[in-house]
Every structure is written in structure tokens, then in C-alpha cells.
Structure 1
Amino acid sequence: MPKRGGGRQRNWEHDHFEHDDRTHTNNTRRVSFKTGTNKGKNKFRTWKDPKLLLDDDIDMGSSGGQVHTQGRKGPFRGRGGRLNSPAPRSGHGLPKKKFVAGLLPWYQIIIPYGAKHEKDVVLRALLSFISPEVFIPHYYKINGNAAVFYVDDVKIAEKLFHADRKIVMSDGFKLVVIVRNSAPSVIIDAVMKEKMKQAMAKRYNAATKALDLTKFHTDPDLADVFCALFRPMIMLAVIDIIADNIPDLEALNLNDNKLHGIEHLKILSTKLKSLKILYLGDNRIPFVGSLDSLKSLPLVELFLKGNPLVNRFNDHEIYVSDVRKRFPKLTRLDGVDLPPAIGFDVSEDVTLPPRQQSFLVDPAGQDLVREFLTQYFAIYDSESRQPLLEAYHEHASMSMAANYLSNDNRNSPSARLNAYISNSRNIMRITERESRRRYLKTGRLQVVSFLSDLPKTTHDLMGFAVDLIVFTPNMIVLTMNGVYKETSTAGNPTRSFHRTFVVVPNTGGGFCVINDVLYVTNTTKEQEEKAFASGESITTPTPAQPLGAPVAAAPSGVTDDTRKMMLNMLGQQTGMNEFWSMNCLQETGWDFQRALFVFNQLQSEGKIPPEAFVK
């Protein structure tokens, strides 16, 4: 008894390659209860992933064709309304086949039973049908009874798709045309590399150190091999050949090679370090972000016209700006000179000034600064800070802010800043106006009282970084960074601080702090390792010589008029007579600011005799 369903199982590929265009009528129904093996939403995932499609390990020729039919949704109802009946055969209600463009730029054209005709006959028939369009058949060969070739244009592929069974050949049969989205297979061996090298050699201009690889796959020397640069493995092989033979290449033209993903081109920055001009026009680069893989190249000229990424910008200026962010040295884009970039006029080989532990706007203030810091922190680190009352102006003001380092472990007891956070005047945290006023200490009594309540400390004076940024007779501004240990806290934690003093002359002839800003935070690991490494402290500088010391000769660059002017100014500001003012200026080398500071220092110590003020 014959099997239910009768007839032989039709083989799709065999039927087309044997090329029988006659009409068969077979109304025998076949019912199958076999469970499908490819279920789920990822059944056709490989056709939606361009990276997988570009993987050379995937055989694109066996992954289904370009022929798509738009089936019905849900099970088919046959005659009589039964579910799951087989769909009717072609010509009995199925929608017309539609061409769907693939993700790859290459299409395989299969002419079943095309071997019975000469190559020229088949191509002339196809060209006549799609006229006036023309195409180049790549890698034409006979595979069994079929003729197979490739085209690299989606418009041509679509026209050939619609030529299926519409061309009548001389023997009366209709030409079957199958279109698949598939790229030719490729194996890069020594023979292929040699052909690539020969094709590249004739495209290289030694005078300009430029290599033109425009439409590289169409080169006559590569007619019998597939050498499309949009395949990563082929592009990387080309880069290796360039690096081995012309490593000093300065210009590379990759126009019209159907490039899409260019992530692998980041190797250019290591292989071709002299590359400054790159043409990528008329390709398929989708987004400007795709260029990030090339940011390491020191490009001065770039050509991107003809890529989808350019059309995504409605504003040309934004397009230029986005490209320039990635290539700051760019002077020419898409064949147009760019205006000079806004920046600092600094030569490329300029070196930064050497790092300094401290900065003094005027070297004459060095001794005064050292003396001030030594005396201030000697009192600050003592058992009682009350003597600091003499160091602050009557109307002095002070504020303190504290914060944790971003990478600090706040749960560590030694890292907690509880003694500071509660009094911190961080204006990012204290937003209420009255609170900000309350956290600001005004008047010497409030300032010293507040400082006395802070933990007892020992400062690493030798590790200070001090900047003297203002040094005038009427004001000194000091900033400093350093570390200290809390001597009254368990574990003696180390803290980092930044402090700014604004110092002005006081009525008694000395100096006092009128503004004090303190910032406290945790120390970094590096600061802890270097803290108190020397075990030394700043020594008190040698006192200045008495004003009655031998007179130094005036420098030759100081004129008589200048000396008279400085002499009058010093007498007016200090109250000394002309004789003592002259001695003071001569001993300081006619440095007016230093002479004034020396006077104030000695006056505060009571070392200037009363006769200096007798006129």
C-alpha cells in the first residue's frame, strides 16, 4: 500500500538545479506532526547581526536565500475551514515574492542549469533585461549545472531578483534567477597575499607616500580572488602588508570599499604611526561615533563624504565640531580647509615649567614668611592657643570647611572627621543664610576660641607647600598645603589641610592675620607615607642685622632720584628719621619692600632705639 501523501519528497535545491519549468499538479495533502527544532525569537538571529555576517567562519552560501515570501499570520485554513491544512501551491493565492535588502553589500546570483549556456549568453540576457543598468559579474563560475556569480550593488541585485522566470532563452525555457545576500568565501594564503601586494604596489605613490585603495576589490589583478576590504580579515591583512613594506605611509585612500564597521581599524595607530591623511568617502559608516577607533591617529586631513554619518547632521557646523573633537589636529575635512581651531598658541614641543615645592611672588618675602609660619604654628601646636590672640586683627574673620575624600572609607574610626564636620561652613552644604553667618567666626576672640576647641595637633612643617601670591607693604596673602597629626585623638590620625592667610600691618608696627580660611580632609596614602619623613622642623631664620651695621653699597641700577623717592616713602611710613631710613634701605640692598618688612619685624621685637624716630 502506498504511503499516505503519495509522491516523492521534493528537494528544493535539486529541483532548481535540474531546471524543470513545467507545471505539476498534485493535490495530495501531506500532514506532518514533526516538532520543529528551531523555535523561539532567536531562530533567525544570525541574519540580524552584522558582526556575525562579517565573520568569515560563517558560510553565507548555505544560510538561506534572498527569496522571501510574506506568509499568513497564524495557521492556514484550508477549504472547509480546517486548521493546519497545507498552504496552496504557487499561483493559488500566495502573495508575490518581495526583495528584501540584506545587511551585507554583496549578493550571490545563482542561475540553475546555467551551465547549458555560454557565459556571454547568460550575461547578455540579464543585461538586456535590466537595461539601461549595467553590472560587473564578480567571480563567475560553473558549480555543477548552475552558473554562479556575485554583484556588489543592492540596486542591481533587486533588478536581477525581479528577472526570475521572465527571460525566455533560445531553447524555450525561462531563466531562473536566485538572489542571496551572501559574500564570497575567502582564504588568505601566501598566494593571495602576493597578489594583494602586487596590486598595492602599482597603487602606491612613493613621491607623496600615498596609497590609493579605492574600490580595491575591482582591481584587475584581483579578478580571480575575493578581496573586499569590508571583510575585517582582508583589511587586517592589507594593513600588515603596508606595515611590512611602507611603514612610513602618510596618506591612505579607502574610498568606495563598502566599509561598515571600522572598529578593527584602531590598529592603524600602532602599525602606521606616520599616517596623517585618511580618505573613507563613499562607504557605509553609520555614525560619527564609529570614528572613535581612529582617534589615536594624528590626522590632519579626513574625507568622509558619502557616508550615512554625514547625512545625520542637519547643521554642518555641528558635524565639523563633532569630527574635530576626535581629531583636534584636523585642518581639512571632506576636501575643504577648516578654519584654525580655537586654542592656545603653544608649540608642540614646549615643556611645562618644573614643579616647585613653593612659589614666592617676591623672593624678598622668603625670610618673613618662614619666620611668620614658624612662630604661628609653634603656638598653634602648643598646649594653649590663647597666645594667638596677638596674631589676629581685632576684626579678623575665619571660616573652616571639611569634607571626605571621594574614595575614603568613612566607616574607619581613624578616618572620621566628626570634630570638623559639625563646624564645617561648606557653602555647598550650608545653604541657609543665617547658618552661613553663624558658622563664620568674626573678631579675634571668636577666632581664637574656635581654634582652641579644635583637636591638638603637630604639623609637619618641613612638608609644607607654601605659596606667597601677594606681597605688598599693605597686604600679604599666603596659601599652604600640608599634613598634621592629632595628638589628643586616639590613634593620632593624620589629616590633610589647605590654609589661606591674609596678613596686614598692625598699628604696633608688626603684622596680624585679618582673614583665615581652613580646609580639612583625610590624607591620601601617598601623603601618609611621606608625612614627618624628615623628623625635622623649620628652623628660625637668623635675625636680621641691626640697623647700625656697616652700610652696603647701593646697586648700580638704582638712580639717585629713585633712592630719594624710596627714602622719603620709608620715612613717611615708618616715622624714622632720614639717617635711620637710609641705613635700613642700604642694608637691604635698596629693596623697599624688604626694608619695610625688616623695620616692622624689628619694631615688633623692640629692637629699634628711640633715637631712630627723632627728627
Structure 2
Amino acid sequence: MSDGGRCYSDHDDHYGGGFFVKKRKGRGPFVGKMVSEGPHKYRNKGGYGPYPRSRLEEDDGDVGESYESSHHRFLPYGRGGKRSHEKRDKKKFGGFHRDSPHQGRAKYNEGWKSWYKVTIPHGKKYDKFWLLDTLQDVCPVPFTPVQFHTDHSRAHFYVDNSAAGKALKQISRTITDRDNFKVTILTRPCPPPQSLAKELNDEEIEHFKNCMQKRYDGANQAMDMKAVRSDPDLVANKVDVILNRKCYMTTMLQIIEDNVPELLSLDISNNKLFKLDDLAEITLKAPNLKILKLSENMIKSDLELNKLKGLKLEELWLEGNPFCDSFRDQTSYISVVRQHFPKLLRLDGHELPPPITFDVETPTTLPPCKGSYLASDDIKALVLRFLQQFYACYDSEDRQGLLNVYHDEACCSLSIPFSVGLNPSRSTIGEYFKYSRNIRKLRDANLRFKLLKQKRLNVVGFLNELPRTQHDLGSFVVDILAHSNTLLCFVVNGIFKEVEGQSSHALRAFSRVFVAVPGSDGGLLLVNDEQFIRDANTEEIHKAFATTAPTPSSSPVHVLASQDMVLAFIQLSGMNSEWSHKCLEDNGWDYDQATQVFMKLNTEGKIPDVAFIK
């Protein structure tokens, strides 16, 4: 976008405007503070500062002049300050009055102190309800979001609370999304949203309704609202209708719904529309619309059309919009527009080849996500019992008891996200980096072999080197990948926290794949153990350890007969049947308590050797 000889990138609010900034070595684009996160001062020399798009939201709606001004070439290495033609004017006329840096923006009003505009870069990819719920949970100051909308890749909303606006800025980059990216939050004071700034009164609505009635063609069920702001009747009655403002567009759509919901054609050309968010409700107000004319507006991206994808248009007019000039040929233009409206027959008055479509309507919603997949009740009981025993030992002070769980030829490996390896000292899971065997990035064959732990003793020795943990059994999701009489493969996803070291109480998410074969005692022996560890995201952190995991005595899934419990305890402890039975009996057949007592006494060396003779 250009104005007064300066050009602004669409992403100026990310990096601070249209001036050159030397890149700092070793720093990513979002490591330091953004312009919007710093003091709210204009950084450019003249012009509108780092928020050129804000003029479109805070102006009086007549944005045509700024866009239609001459386009000067942007020189990123040129000297700032006064432009050459300004210097010539100064010499010719003996001086000139430099424009105020705030010219073109609405003047600051004391009543605006409470309003803040909140911007989430790349926020469009998030689910609206997840994003707002997460912000409301984390923000220490309660707030109500007003007019949530998206613009390109960003999400925006307003808050009528200066304390909430400042608090939202403080929690920037403290929230982690599902992909482990930090959520950036930008805030700044602003005037009230246009939808609240002015509402039409009853007299103005009546004049507007009469204008629409005059422009309606009943025979063709067509509404002509082209250049409606200059309509003589509206001008005579001093009703200034600006369709690129939400309140006017909403009023027009409501009148259509109340009076002509069967509308087939709508012409809103030449109304200086630069976004179509407010027009999106037409899919509900006039669902039968077949012809839409948007020519001679200021739409800069074909993505705006996606907001009208609910319409089954047959004819569309877009000529005269800036984005129409961005295509290398007519074929590309037609292809992009048809991605939004597959059944389109005419574009800008030209007939299009018949679309290739299928009559079968594909479902737009995915089925609800299910929990664990455990194949059958027998496998379910076996796997859940194994996991409870395995993690009871794994989370104890001594993991030597796992020697009875692994096969003599077992293999084990661990990996972490590759991004952590770029700078492990700055990551909370950097302590796992030296063990990480991420084979997608690890090219050294010798190192690959070294990081693969082989043989039972090496596997358990490696597991003993890892930090002590406490797993949240209630968070486990278990899926059986393959099973037969001689092999069982299953994956476990869940949450755990570390209970010692520098990262004590840090929450981690893990995914662990086990491959097991039948053991001699009817249990399972692991032949392969592959674990992936990452930082838990914000949603996982909120849910972690929220409920107590079921115990063997409280959950029907884990209720075992005394004989089965003895067999399970033999597998865990390595003791013979007599001593295993005695340990369980002495602890009231409480499997967890018996396990803890055994681990403690075994660590202290108080269990006689005879207990392990089978």
C-alpha cells in the first residue's frame, strides 16, 4: 500500500514499518519485541507510522483517496526525511507546512482510553473458541471480546477495558499452541469499533429502506446498490451510507432479510469495500443469491471471497478490484476464483466452461474423536495391567525392577523435537538432547548406532539415567497397533512431570511405542521401546493431573483376581510365588501399596535372597 510516496508491506505490523532494519545474527523474526509490543509511538518519519491498515478501520470509511494516490517506487536504502519534491517546493515557495504525523487518523479522544485492539499474528489458523477460551483462562484480568474477526492470517478483537488490554500484552508468548508455537499477542489503544461507534436511528433506517425499495427490481428479484453513498435521495436527507462500515452493511442485510429474502441478484459495486467480513451474513440473509457484483471496489486478496463460500453463485463480477491485476493470465484468474465458487458459470460478464463437479455432497464435519483403541476386552485388561505395573516401577526411586520387563535382546531409543537441538540450552527439555536419536535429522551412522540402546541391562541402565518422573495415568490414551498370538504392538500417549533436577515439576508430553512378546509367566516382555518427549502445550497443562488415576481396587478395568494379582506381582518384583503372595497379603491386597513397600525394602537390601529363588 502506498501513501504520500511511502510504501508499506502487508506485514508492517510484524516488523515495524517500511524501513530497513539490519538483521541481528542468530535471532529469529519473533525473538525480540515487535513494534506493537514496544511503546506506542510512531517509528517512521512522517506518514501513518507502523499501522497503515488501521486507517481503514479508524477512518470515516472514505478510503479511496489514499489508495488512488500516485504510487512511488519504494527505496529501502534511500535516505529518510523530506522527499525531493518537497525540497523543490520549499525552494520555490520559500517554505511549506509539513503534514502532521497523525494526519489521516482519527484524532485521539479521551473516551477511547478504555478501548484496546488485540491482534494475534497468524491467529486465523486457530479455532476461535479455543483461542478466546485460552486467553480468558490465562489473562489475570477478566475481559469480554468484542467483534472478533480475521484479516489475512491475523485474528483481531476489541476489549473495553484498558487493564485487560495491558494484561493481554503481558501474557504474550506465554501460551503454547498444539504445534508448540508461542502465541504472540499485540495490543494498542484504539477508538471504539465502528460497529459500536455509530448506529443508524429510526429516521435514517427509514430513508435507507426507501432508497433500497426504489432500487429494487421485482421482476428480476435484483437489488442495485451501486455507489449507494451518492444516491440523491440519501444525500438530500443527509444520510451518509458507507457500506464498508459494519453498521450500514448489517442494516442493509437485515432489510433484505425482512423484505426480499428470495433475492437472486445483488450489485454493490463501487462502494469502496476492502474486506467482506461484514457481507458474510448474506449466506443466511439471502441464501438463494445467484448473481453478485463486486466490481470497482478495493478488495486486495482473493481470500476475501472465502468469506462468501456459503453462496452457490452462478455469476460474479470482480473487475476493477486491486487483486484482479495480480494474476499472470486469465486462466489463473478463473482458476483461483473457481476455487471459492466451483459452480460459477460467468465471471465479469464472460461465459466460463462448464465446471467439473460431483453431485455427492461430502460431509463437512469430522466424526468425534474417540478415546483409546484396545481391540478386545482380553487385550485391554492385559495392556492396562501391564502399564500400571510398568509405570509404578518406572516412577519409583529405583528402576532396576524393570529388568524383569524387558527381553534379553530388547532395544530402546528416545527422541525430542529437532528444533530443540538447534539451541538446547534455551529449551526446558534440552537435558534430553544428548540422548535424542531423531533419525530424520541425525545423519551420523555411528552416532545413530550409539544412541540405540541394546540388550536388557543397557536399556534399564539408560532408563535409570533419565530424570525421575511421575506419570499422570488419567491422561493416557492407548492404541493397539497390531496384535497376534506371538506379538503385541501398542502406543501410549500421555503427560508426566519431572520430580527432581533443574526442571522439577516441569510438565512433559510423551508418545511411547512398545513392541512386546509373551513372557514365560503369562505376562509381557518388551523387545522394543521407542519414546518421543516434548513440552506439554497449554491445553495439556490445564488438564494434567486434574483427576486421580483409578486404582486396582476402584476401577473395574483393573480389578484382578488374587491369583492374577500374584502373577502380576511376580513379574514386577521377580520374587517367587510364596513371597509375592505374602507381600500382597501383608498389605491388604493393595497392589500399589505392596509395590511401594517392595521397592523400598528392595532398595534397602532387606529382602532375603530366598525370596527370589523360584
Give the structure-2-normalised TM-score: 0.48
